[in-house]
Copies of this chain bind each other. A is one copy, B any other.
Amino acid sequence: MLAPVGISLEELQLAARNHGLPLETLRHDVTPIGLHYLLIHFDIPQVDARTWRLAVDGLVERSLSLTLEELKERPARTLAVTLECAGNGRALLSPHIPNQPWLLEAVGTAEWTGTPLAPLLEEAGVQHAAVEVVFTGLDRGVQGDVEHDYARSLPLADALRDEVLLAYAINGQPLPPQHGFPLRLVVPGWYGMTHVKWLRSITAVGKPFDGWQQAVAYRLNEDTPVPRMLPRSLLVPPGIPDFLTRERRLSAGPCLLEGRAWSGHGPIERVEVSVDGGRSWGDATLGEPASEFAWRGWSFRWDATLGEHVLACRATDASGRTQPDEGEWNEGGYCNNAVQRVRVVVTY
């Protein structure tokens, strides 16, 4: 099923640090801590919460400097949000793209608790000249030969949306170091690069941000930034795996196929399942998502017959977007939401 492309040891270093969601744990509506995907560009910063401050500055009437306690005293909201890396699926594209080598598992859903961003920006008083808000983390390193702090921006209108949170807790616990302790941005519907971790400043700016992670990385081409999350569906591979190949072995008979589907462009309206490698499709039964911004569970009854089968699933969202059979190659290897295929050998 997999192309015999070699992954370099440099890429392996990234794969050993940054991990995906083991697909069988798609069973959890909310991903337990430690199973949610992680992509950490540089190192996880060591942060002393007692001295840490969040700056709100730039084109604002009143610059703010807030402690973690002050942020926790503000109105809190908890929201289940599905996050996916924009590079998910990259390692399945050809020609090969040297970068974090994701297959399909760079996703997770967590219950984030934090304070909404919009009231904080209102309190600071964003000036009319501001067009974007830049979010900067404490993580610093070199990428594309440029040394920089990790930073990303949002157009002002997107930053002011109700669902955008400054999160200090995940699944009811303080953020662990790898998820951005003490504070991270959560922007439901957007790929993971937007959700800046280890936040140190929020800055209103008067022209589009030209930082490396914004202007060079995360672009489909020079003119097109990575959009909101494209629809994707993943299934829990049924049966038991082979350790090395991860090929599945399953007993013949009734089998309930289950999975999750999500999109940043609107609710998932349809999931189709194929048990013959995509020649024919049937509709899955959809469950209710944990929130407007969380994946939607689905199930599909299959009577598994002897022999080899290739299972596949594809999602369609309310905007009409559907997963393609093949992903479109681009230099950064972003947005490959091609249909997942899982080979299963059914035996007695």
Contacts and interface: CB of A to CB of B under 8 A. Distances in A.
Contacts of A34: 33-34, 36, 38, 176, 178-179
A154 interface: no
A41 interface: yes
A237 B12 CA distance: 17
A223 interface: no
Contacts of A177: 25, 28, 32, 35
A9 B1 CA distance: 10
B141 A10 contact: no
Interface in A46-63: 46
A101 B240 contact: no
A222 interface: no
Contacts of A140: 240
Contact of A6 (B8, B33, B38, B46): B8
B12 A103 contact: yes
Interface stretch (A16-24, A123-131, A275-283, A297-305): A16-24
A142 B15 contact: no
A14 interface: yes
Nearest to A242: B142
Contact of A19 (B2, B18, B176, B237): B18
Contacts of A242: 141-143
A102 B17 CA distance: 10
B240 A43 contact: yes
Nearest to A99: B244
Nearest to A24: B43
A13 interface: yes
A3 B7 contact: no
Given A22-B43, A24-B43, A103 B13 contact: yes
A143 B243 CA distance: 5
Given A13-B103, A99-B244, A141-B242, 8 more contacts: A2-B13, A14-B244, A16-B103, A24-B43, A25-B44, A34-B38, A43-B241, A143-B243
30 contacts: A2-B8, A2-B9, A2-B10, A4-B9, A5-B9, A7-B8, A7-B9, A9-B91, A11-B244, A14-B244, A14-B246, A17-B19, A22-B40, A22-B178, A24-B43, A24-B46, A27-B46, A34-B36, A34-B176, A34-B179, A35-B177, A35-B178, A42-B241, A43-B241, A141-B240, A141-B241, A142-B242, A143-B242, A143-B243, A147-B249
